[in-house]
Amino acid sequence: MNKVVANAQEAIKGIEDNMTLMLGGFGLCGIPENCISALVKANIKGLTCISNNAGVDDFGLGLLLQKKQIKKMISSYVGENDEFERQMLSGELEVDLIPQGSLAERCRAGGAGIPAFFTPAGFGTEVGHEKEVRYFNGKPHILEHALTADFAIVKAWKGDKLGNLIFKGTARNFNPMMAMAGRITIAEVEELVEPGELDPNFIHTPGVFIQRIFQGEKYEKRIEQRTVRPRS
Amino acid sequence: MNKVVANAQEAIKGIEDNMTLMLGGFGLCGIPENCISALVKANIKGLTCISNNAGVDDFGLGLLLQKKQIKKMISSYVGENDEFERQMLSGELEVDLIPQGSLAERCRAGGAGIPAFFTPAGFGTEVGHEKEVRYFNGKPHILEHALTADFAIVKAWKGDKLGNLIFKGTARNFNPMMAMAGRITIAEVEELVEPGELDPNFIHTPGVFIQRIFQGEKYEKRIEQRTVRPRS
Amino acid sequence: MLDKKGIAKRIAQELQNGWYVNLGIGIPTLIANYVPEGISVEFQSENGILGMGPFPFDGEEDADLINAGKQTITAMKGACIFDSATSFAMIRGQHIQLTVLGAMEVADNGDIANWKIPGKMVKGMGGAMDLVASAENIIVAMMHTNKRGQSKLLRQCTLPLTGVGCVKKIVTNLAVLDVTPQGFKLIERAPGVSVEEIKNATEGRLIIEGDIPEMNI
Amino acid sequence: MLDKKGIAKRIAQELQNGWYVNLGIGIPTLIANYVPEGISVEFQSENGILGMGPFPFDGEEDADLINAGKQTITAMKGACIFDSATSFAMIRGQHIQLTVLGAMEVADNGDIANWKIPGKMVKGMGGAMDLVASAENIIVAMMHTNKRGQSKLLRQCTLPLTGVGCVKKIVTNLAVLDVTPQGFKLIERAPGVSVEEIKNATEGRLIIEGDIPEMNI
């Protein structure tokens, strides 16, 4: 059971125009940099991308936006990206904005075989528009449906050849849920190790959710808001 | 923010007759031995216990059954317990049997503010009786509701004074979800450590879910089915 | 006729490389001993482990490492541990390629009953209802008849159901059968068992087309 | 009149020992600097950390450790990291005792709008809709009026809503107000601000009962 592929280019084989992708990351933190570059290079078009954010103008998913490879974004927060705003306001880009918690839970649900669930988030807002409303304990909830994707692409810190993953710090974010929800899930990792090198008790994403894995290269890990305090 | 209590007796303060409890563990693996003993000693009656299993005749929840402290069990599998079977068949004990995955997910939902979700498990069976049925992608699902408890009692391997927990091996099982679903959650641990001693990146249950914690003693950790292979 | 080990051996032939497999209690557990050479699979146990290994050596049992049958086990290299919600996320989300479990009754429409005998025995369904409701590929491993000699392959289940229309294949001490819209389709006979014997032991609709080969095991 | 820091300081007085607190982007983030002595709270950031600490020293930034505002942060002793689903399980499941966030508009029935200006600005709601739909205790931190001098405390929100009837308390540069079934109830005046000024800056229903004390900050 060897899931290792050589590189990003090989990993994204089978991703075609008009497919739906999930991409892990929060802002620029924990994003699959290598696969995004490979998607840009392959010039795959008409993509529907499910990702909490849309990158910045010149990094992350912003690179795919620049080349107009994205038809539709499903996200929770898309600030910090002028090209995104331009495409959205001009109508070139379809945008479906989802509360962050509902986005996370809908991905998890997609991976966990839960087709729909009730949540209070978004009731009485645009998000709840035309969605089924039901009261539980006197409180209104809306029915949200699972999300899945043709391919999910996640970024982990370390992974073994069976696909077991561990993440570092808040680079974890959406990666574990999206790993569950891809029909095919690709993991790019900073360090690829042999089975047995990761402690079974501390795996964040079990290998069963991963179909392809490779060790990425040249991680830039750009910081969006560098905030520091003076040394006293 | 110190959640430490002295012992099991202090930890179970406030648990009263006729309350609903969740108790972690799978069979006898990962059960809160100290708190179960304290509940037996305190002779609290009329309990509704949510737990995957009901222990064996003379250990685990079996101890509470012997003393007829349990009014109702909500479980998925209750074999291996003659006293349980006797009380159930005679009608002394109410029993609600739930598919194991639905039990786990209903506890998680209770802790996660998801009041209800659809699952295929149990459709067309007694479990689906009188439950709402809905088709997704042509497949029937039933609506299951969240479970919560007045108190959840879990057992971890190590925990810090803020309630962060790590579990060992398959003693994890239902403990993390039940920890989420208690209005008050008690954690008993084999080793209680200072904040900072557990790696933040590898916490199984975040301390936010825990209200009381103590280091248990004299763990018996009885093995239900000792299976071994000969040394060749 | 096959014994329990034989049933396990025959089912092991169905394993495909790279599959994740959930084995139920009883006969299914034995399958792990007969994985064909060149085939690499991982075993999931629904209490929370992937990459379940063989029983531990005497003296090396760990109370904190058991399978869903509460037996002490070991973990293979590359194993991982998870909680019950994640475990059933794998199962419900169809990330497990094969489920093998025992049954008290199977109907010729794929219904299965294996958790309750009203008024007599109620062990509970454990994870079986989740498994049969979601697995794409379910094999039932059981004796063809019960202790009183009555067929367990029925026109309709008489016991409370575990799942509806879900069983795809059955391997018994007598035969391998596929569940089809027309009923049980006989695929193979156990060594030394005649079609007639299988017919007599099967209450549900049985389809016999052409020569039925003997198992190669 | 308070500046942004003053608003943060005043809200910090609301913190209670043992609380878990989620702070939104902007003014709320500043609250962490003014936790009163003797009060111990833990800060949650919805991208996946509990026990968020101060910004790192120059040169010690870690790209893999940020808050929901994408700022580099540190982790306190006893911190823990989790995925987004678990993070919102905490929020939706009401395990977080206080949420403080900014707003473009608040209505006197507790409605809040802070994520979209149709045709002009659409940043998205991020975690705000989940937070306001579930938090038992929501404080809005904002300026009393917008850049054009118009009240942000309205009879009805004009912008697309983030949540309905959820805001419990508002702290602005001018005042502290509770949201009651009868409208905004004036609780405290900012230093040097008169009731009249607050009246003039508040479009929604305003309840003034008895003497309104000045904040003690």
pTM over 0.95: yes
Q: Do the domain assignments include residue A211?
A: yes
A156 part of a folded domain:
yes
Q: What does the pLDDT read at residue C122?
A: 82
User: Quick one: pLDDT at residue C110?
Assistant: 97
Residue A102 backbone phi and psi in degrees, to 5: -70, -35
Tokens of C29: 């557990």
Residue range D24-32: mean pLDDT, rounded: 91
Residue B82's pLDDT is 87
Number of neighbouring beta carbons within 10 Å of residue D183: 19
State residue D74's pLDDT score: 96
Domain limits for position A198: 8-104+148-215
More confident residue, B37 or B83: B37
Q: What is the pLDDT of residues C156-181, one digit of tens each?
A: 999 999 999 999 999 999 999 999 99
CB neighbours of D191 closer than 8 A, spacing ≥ 6?
D1, D2, D214, D215, D217
Determine the pLDDT at residue D111. Answer: 98
Q: Residue D18 and residue B162: Cβ atoms within 8 Å?
A: no
User: Any residues with CB less than 8 A from the CB of B86 and at least 6 apart, and which?
Assistant: none
Within 8 A of A223 by CB-CB distance, chain D residues are 61, 63, 66, 72
How confident is the model over A101-149, as pLDDT tens digits? 999 999 999 999 999 999 999 999 999 999 999 999 999 999 999 999 9
Q: Are the beta carbons of A54 and A78 closer than 8 angstroms?
A: yes
Classify residue B229: in a domain, yes or no: no
The dihedral of CA B95, B96, B100, B106: what is its sign? Answer: negative
pLDDT at site A85:
87
Say if C and D touch: at least 3 Cβ pairs within 8 Å. no
Mean pLDDT within C17-42: 94
Query: Contact B142/A114 with Cβ under 8 angstroms?
Result: no
Residue B81 has pLDDT above 90, yes or no: no
Average pLDDT over residues A6-11: 98
Q: What does the block give as tokens for B140? A: 């029937």
> Do A120 and B113 make contact, defined as CB atoms within 8 angstroms?
yes
Q: How confident is the model at residue D192 (pLDDT cuts 50, 70, 90)?
A: very high
CATH number at residue A203: 3.40.1080.10
Structural contact between residues A211 and A1, judged by C-beta atoms closer than 8 angstroms: no
DSSP B14: T
Summarised one tens digit per residue, pLDDT across range C115-135 is 999 888 888 999 999 999 999
Question: How many angstroms separate the CA atoms of B100 and C68, rounded?
Answer: 11
Across the interface, which of D40, D95, D134 has its CB nearest the CB of B1? D40
The two counts, helices (H) then strands (E), for chain A are: 6, 11
State whether residue C53 is helix, strand or coil: strand
Q: How many domains does chain A have?
A: 1
| Nearest-CA distance B143 → chain A (Å) | 9
Task: List, for residues D45-88, the tens digit of each pLDDT value.
Answer: 999 999 999 999 999 999 999 999 999 999 999 999 999 999 99
Beta bridge partners of C12: none
For the segment A180-213, what is each residue's pLDDT rounded down to a tens digit?
999 999 999 999 999 999 999 999 999 999 999 9
Q: Pick from B109, B118, B168: which is nearest to A201 by CB? A: B168
Nearest CA in chain A to C84: A112
Give the span between the Cα atoms of D8 and C40, in whole angstroms. 59
What is the crossing angle of helices C84-92 and B100-112, to 10°?
120
Judge whether B127 lies within some domain. no
The mean pLDDT of chain B is 96
- pLDDT at site D120: 82
Across the interface, of A28, A76, A168, the residue whose CB is closest to D124 is A76
Beta bridge partners of residue A29, listed in sequence order: A26
Q: Average per-residue pLDDT in chain A?
A: 96
Residue D198 to residue D170: CA distance in whole angstroms:
13
Query: Distance between CA B93 and CA B71 in Å, rounded?
Result: 6
Strand segments, DSSP code E, in B86-218 are: 94-97, 116-119, 133-136, 139-145, 149-160, 165-166, 182-193, 212-215
SS3 C154: strand
Whether there are 3 or more C-beta pairs closer than 8 Å between D and A is yes
In this complex, which chains have at least 3 CB pairs below 8 Å with chain A? B, C, D
Which residues of D are catalytic, by number? 46
The answer as to whether B140 is a domain residue is no
**DSSP-derived secondary structure for C90-130:** HHHTT---EEEE--SEEETTS-EE-SEETTTEE---TTHHH
Mean pLDDT of C50-60: 94
Q: What is the pLDDT of residues B89-123, one digit of tens each?
A: 899 999 999 999 999 999 999 999 999 999 999 99
How much of chain A, in percent, has pLDDT values that exceed 70?
100
Q: Which amino acid is present at C198?
A: I
Average of per-residue pLDDT across B183-190:
98
> Is residue A80 pLDDT above 80, yes or no?
no
pLDDT band at C208 (very low <50, low <70, confident <90, very high): very high
The DSSP line for chain D is: ---HHHHHHHHHTT--TT-EEEE-TTHHHHGGGGPPTT---EEEETTTEEEEEPPPBTT---TT-B-TTSBB-EEEEEEEE--HHHHHHHHHTT---EEEE--SEEETTS-EE-SEETTTEE---TTHHHHHHH-SSEEEE--SB-TTS-BSEESS--SPPSBSS---EEE-SSEEEEEETTEEEEEEEPTT--HHHHHHH--S-EE--S--PBP--
User: In degrees to the nearest 10, what's the CA dihedral of C126, C127, C128, C131?
Assistant: 170
Q: What are the Cα distances from residue A200, in Å, to A195, C10, C46, C54?
A: 10, 31, 16, 16
Q: Is residue A168 part of a domain?
A: yes
In terms of DSSP bridges, do strands A149-160 and A182-193 run parallel, antiparallel, or are they unpaired?
A: parallel
User: Which residues from B are below 8 Å from A201, CB to CB?
Assistant: 166-169
In order of A163, B70, D63, the CA distances from B119 in angstroms are: 27, 29, 39
- CB count within 10 Å of CB D211 equals 8
Does the structure show a pLDDT above 80 at B173? yes
**Of B209, B221, B136, nearest in space to B178 by CA:** B209
What pLDDT, on the 0 to 100 scale, is given for residue C199? 97
Instruction: Identify the CA nearest to A119 among candidates A132, A130, A108.
Output: A132
Question: Sign (positive/negative) of CA torsion B161, B166, B172, B176?
Answer: positive
Cα D180 to Cα A213: distance, rounded to the nearest angstrom: 55
B159 φ/ψ sector (left φ>0, alpha ψ -120 to 50, else beta) = beta
Of B120, B116, B143, residue with least CA distance to B130: B143
pLDDT digits (tens, 9 = 90+) for B216-229: 999 999 999 999 99
pLDDT over 80 at D31, yes or no: yes
In a domain, B116, yes or no: no
Residue D85 backbone class (left: φ over 0; alpha: ψ -120 to 50; beta: rest): alpha
pLDDT range class, residue A221, cuts 50, 70, 90: very high
**b (16+ CB within 10 A) / e for B115-133:** bbbbbbbbbbbbbbeeeee
CA distance A96 to chain C (A): 24
Q: What's the gap in Å between the CA of B110 and the closest CA on chain D?
A: 7
Phi, psi of C61 (to 5 degrees): -65, 140
Chain D positions in Cβ-Cβ contact with residue B194 (cut-off 8 Å): 77
Helix D84-92 to helix B100-112 angle, to the nearest 10 degrees? 70
Q: Which residues of C are catalytic?
A: 46
Give the span between the Cα atoms of D107 and D87, in whole angstroms. Answer: 28
- Distance to chain A for C95, nearest Cα, Å: 7
> In degrees rounded to 5, what are phi and psi of residue B112?
-100, 5
Instruction: Identify which of B1, B112, B194 has the shortest CB distance to residue D42.
Output: B1
State how far the Cα of D7 lies from the Cα of D36, in Å rounded to an integer: 14
* pLDDT(D9) > 80: yes
pLDDT range class, residue B17, cuts 50, 70, 90: very high
Residue B137: inside a domain: no
| Interacting residues of C137 by C-beta distance below 8 A, sequence separation 6+ | C97, C98, C99, C168
Tokens of B98: 């739930």
Give yes or no for residue A1 having a pLDDT over 80: no
> Which chain B positions have a beta carbon within 8 Å of C88's beta carbon?
100-102, 104-105
Pair of tokens at residue C79? 């194993």
Q: Which of A119, A136, A202 sits opposite B202 (nearest CB)?
A: A202
Residue B232: pLDDT band by 50, 70, 90 thresholds?
A: confident
Chain A partners within 8 Å of C83 (Cβ):
none
| Most distant CA atoms of chain C, gap in Å | 54
- Interface residues of D toward B, Cβ cutoff 8 Å, are 17-18, 20, 40-42, 44, 49-51, 75-82, 86, 88-96, 134
What are the chain A neighbours of C132 within 8 Å (beta carbons)? none
Q: Which helix (H) or strand (E) holds C206?
A: strand C206-207
Mutate to test the interface with D, among B162, B180, B192 (most CBs of D within 10 A): B162
- What is the C-alpha to C-alpha distance for residues D64 and C17, in angstroms, rounded to an integer? 36
| Structural contact between residues B28 and B59, judged by C-beta atoms closer than 8 angstroms | yes
Task: Quote the CA–CA distance of A9 and A39 in Å, as a whole number.
Answer: 8
Tell me the pairing of strands B139-145 and B116-119. antiparallel
pLDDT confidence of residue B220? 96
